[in-house]
Amino acid sequence: AQSVAQPEDQVNVAEGNPLTVKCTYSVSGNPYLFWYVQYPNRGLQFLLKYITGDNLVKGSYGFEAEFNKSQTSFHLKKPSALVSDSALYFCALNQGGKLIFGQGTELSVKP
Amino acid sequence: SQTIHQWPATLVQPVGSPLSLECTVEGTSNPNLYWYRQAAGRGLQLLFYSVGIGQISSEVPQNLSASRPQDRQFILSSKKLLLSDSGFYLCAWSPGGVEKLFFGSGTQLSVL
């Protein structure tokens, strides 16, 4: 079965430090991967996607993600975290037009 | 531009009462439509999706049903709510294929 996993329930970083939110996937065939962010009591907002091409994908709000086929990973990164980046982050896999989400990682950025 | 509307934002219902949540999309035609539920502020579970009027696929057997009476309208219903139906319900649309989903602002349902 195709799936995505986010191994960390929570990630804590200091403002100004780089951040990484991890995601691994399991698919048969080419993966179509997405990152979304959710602020409290809100819908999800699209950050970026990988369909094909360059392994480093740039997205909204300064985020980027690196697709690594050999490690079956799609980690979300940002060079310098902001307090306003604190939110719930979801990795997702497109399976036949449906998005299958990971369990989410709570990112907390402290001043 | 395309927009998605979902209402109500919050809803408190007694156990055994009916439910109707509505979602509409503007600015596009023949979208794929989705209902997700998020429990305890974490993982999202796909409940239903639709690729056209009257075409509904159920992902998880449960106390809920969905209908798509018009091209850009998606309704989530229940005849009798259970306590376990409480959660944050999100509607979404996409152009189809491997494109991204666009989410509504969600409905927080509390069944008491």
Q: What is the pLDDT of residues A17-56, one digit of tens each?
A: 999 999 999 998 889 999 999 998 788 999 999 998 889 9
| Chain B residues close to A33, C-beta within 8 Å | none
Write down the pLDDT at residue A1. 77
**Chain A residues touching B94 at Cβ < 8 A:** 97
Contacts of A110 (CB under 8 A, 6+ apart): A12, A13, A14, A15, A83
CB contact under 8 A, A103 and B94: no
Mean pLDDT over B98-108 rounds to 90
Task: Find chain B residues with C-beta within 8 A of A32's C-beta.
Answer: 98
Share of chain B above pLDDT 90, in %: 82
Of B44, B31, B34, the C-alpha closest to A98 is B34
Asked if B32 reaches chain A (Cβ–Cβ under 8 Å), the answer is: yes
Residue B37 has pLDDT above 70, yes or no: yes
**Calpha distance B23→B5 (Å, rounded):** 6
Of B6, B97, B103, the CB nearest to A44: B103
pLDDT digits (tens, 9 = 90+) for B53-72: 999 999 886 789 999 999 99
